[in-house]
Amino acid sequence: MAGRTPSFRLDEELSFAGKAMRVAGLLRLEGASGQRTIRYLLAEPSGSPVIVEEGDGLFTALRPLPAAAILPAAGNTVTIGGEKYTLVAVRKLKVLKAEGQAPGGTPPPVLLLSGVFEGPSGTLMREMVPGSKRQAYYLMRALRAGEILSAAQHAAAREADSRSAAQRAIDED
The CA distance from 38 to 53, in Å, is 6
Strand partners, 62: 51, 140
pLDDT digits (tens, 9 = 90+) for 75-109: 899 888 888 999 999 999 999 998 998 776 666 77
Higher pLDDT among residues 69 and 134, named by residue = 134
Q: Which one-letter amino acid corresponds to residue 168? A: R
Q: What is the pLDDT of residue 67?
A: 73
Domain boundaries, the chain: 13-172
Among the residue ranges 57-66, 72-81, 137-146, the one predicted with the least confidence is 72-81
Collapse the DSSP code of 172 into the 3-class scheme (helix H, G, I; strand E, B; otherwise coil) and give the result: helix
Query: Residue 42 has what pLDDT?
Result: 95
d(CA 45, CA 118): 33
- For 76: left if phi > 0, alpha if psi spans -120 to 50, otherwise beta; the answer is alpha
Element spanning 140, H or E: strand 135-142
